[in-house]
Amino acid sequence: MNHEKNIEKLHVGDIRKTFSNTPEDYQPKIGIEVEKIGLYYENSKPPTYGGKRGYLAILGKMYEELGWEIVSQQGKRISSMKRGNAYLHLESDGRIELAGSPHESIHDLAREMRIHQNEIAEISKIYGIVWIGCGYHPFSRNKDITDISDARKDMLLNYFNKHKEKHNDFGLAWFKKTSGIHVNIDYKDEADFARKNKVLTRISPILTAMFANSPFSKKKFTGYMSFRSHVAHANALPQFDIPKDLYDSEYSYDDWINHVLDLPLVTLERDGKWYAPECTFREFMNNGYDNFTANINDFDLHTKTAWKDIKSKNVIELRFLDSLPPSLIPSVGALIKGLVYDEYNLKKLEDITAGWSHGDFMQLRGDAAKLGLQATIDGKSALDIATDFIEMAEMALKKDRIRNIQNLDESIYLDPIKEFVLIHRKSPAEWLVENWHGKWRKSFYPVIDWLQY
């Protein structure tokens, strides 16, 4: 007999209490999660998880030789590892994602990234695997990629397959073939939460355009500079959408929570068993499901399927950026830190975007995916706006004067993206496509070399 009916019903207020309670010594930090795509060097095919030359073999070496501790595993299958405050998590097929430590300094963030780059590259060479930093698998089809056998991942796979039958396979492609960079930033109170969420949502297409890096699929140019972004926004799934009522809201805790409550509840777990309720979380919270009563852990799990460009709880997570080659990753952290942790810049961003309607935003989001920095909004190009953003971030980072041992401030990490925006006047994807069509004669070997870890 299930006794969950006797549990007190979950309310919005209960969820609200779980959002950030900022300590008095609040010091904002920034963290980065980096996904990437693995390939067998000799044929560019996707590796499997198991086997003598699979992802599990790499994880084993990380454990045996480099001090990574196993956090979770099922039998011989490792699913998560930890060292210090950094984690290694797995994507649906076993690809290894670095969830880095939160850092006050971009110097520390960049060093952690360099260490990971060197470790993963050296260990993977043993098994003939190379890693590339790009937002979408440039070669493989959905069916070429073998997923890990995992109860929750199997349910998600089933959900995307059902959607494929009704609409398109973009949801499935997102699950199997995309790789992104997620940036986690802090907020000090609800007002700060609202300001940062609102302004970052509005500028997200500009940042997508700046770092666009997924122009290829199935060994062809897709016609998009960020095909990953296009796949996310053209799949007709509400978990990816930014509707007008949310865009126009104040982005308070309640605005965000109420939006998430009305999303479909994809997975529910009880005692190791998984269920697909096929209702919204609000309906589950109000009416229960199969004698189960909603609790805060259910909401936390539900939030993981809100695949938004920005997702928020204890931190604000920016999820709209394509994965990148290692040289460009610190630029992401430096730009975001310089823009949103500086009060002058945050206010300036609010002023810049104040007149951008939901319709303007949706148009820009689609154009940024297709055109990169050549997209426009309100008569101004994304390239010009991106140039302004770099100047704003550089000013803030120089003002903070956080220096490394060479006496250089954090603005040095903007140099790689400055090369593209200020010198090439293109996103990485635009530059890649130009070279692929031109001097590389549609060969993918130079593409892999440039993207490679």
Interval 286-304: pLDDT, tens: 999 999 999 999 999 999 9
Q: What is the mean predicted confidence (pLDDT) over 304-317?
A: 96
Residue-wise burial string across 103-116, b where 16 or more C-beta atoms lie within 10 A, e elsewhere: bebbbbbbebbeeb
Instruction: Report residue 76's pLDDT band, with 50, 70 and 90 as the boundaries.
Output: confident
Q: What is the mean predicted confidence (pLDDT) over 16-36?
A: 89
Q: What is the mean predicted confidence (pLDDT) over 46-53?
A: 96
Checking if the pLDDT of 24 tops 80, the result is no
Both tokens of residue 92? 């649906």
Q: How many residues are given for the chain?
A: 453
pLDDT of residue 67: 97
Report which of 116, 123, 112 is spatially closest to residue 65, judged by C-alpha positions. Answer: 123
Q: Which of 12-26, 249-263, 293-307 has the lowest mean pLDDT?
A: 12-26
The structure's pTM equals 0.96
In whole numbers, what is the pLDDT of the chain averaged over residues?
Answer: 96
Which residue carries 């001090």 as its tokens? Answer: 67
Distance between CA atoms of 302 and 317, rounded to whole angstroms? 16
pLDDT of residue 158: 93
Q: Which of 18-22, 168-172, 264-268 has the lowest mean pLDDT?
A: 18-22
Interval 107-154: pLDDT, tens: 999 999 999 999 999 999 999 999 999 999 999 999 999 999 889 999
Interval 359-374: pLDDT, tens: 999 999 999 999 999 9
pLDDT of residue 286: 96
Checking if the pLDDT of 99 tops 70, the result is yes
Q: Which of 21-25, 154-158, 177-181, 417-421 has the lowest mean pLDDT?
A: 21-25
Instruction: Report residue 22's pLDDT band, with 50, 70 and 90 as the boundaries.
Output: confident
Checking if the pLDDT of 3 tops 70, the result is no
Task: Calculate what percentage of the chain has a pLDDT beyond 70.
Answer: 99
Task: Calculate what percentage of the chain has a pLDDT beyond 90.
Answer: 93
Distance between CA atoms of 313 and 318, rounded to whole angstroms? 12
Checking if the pLDDT of 449 tops 60, the result is yes
CB neighbours of residue 355 within 10 Å: 9
Interval 154-189: pLDDT, tens: 999 999 999 888 889 999 999 999 999 999 999 999
pLDDT of residue 10: 95
Query: 180 forms bridges with which residues in the sheet?
Result: 322
Instruction: Report residue 1's pLDDT band, with 50, 70 and 90 as the boundaries.
Output: very low
Whether residue 323 contacts residue 226, with contact meaning beta carbons closer than 8 Å, is answered with no
Q: What is the mean predicted confidence (pLDDT) over 234-251?
A: 97
The domains located in the chain, with CATH, are 27-147+180-252+310-451 (3.30.590.20)
Checking if the pLDDT of 68 tops 70, the result is yes
Instruction: Report residue 5's pLDDT band, with 50, 70 and 90 as the boundaries.
Output: low
The backbone torsions φ and ψ at residue 386, rounded to the nearest 5 degrees and listed phi first, read -60, -40
CB neighbours of residue 432 within 10 Å: 25
Distance between CA atoms of 384 and 381, rounded to whole angstroms? 5
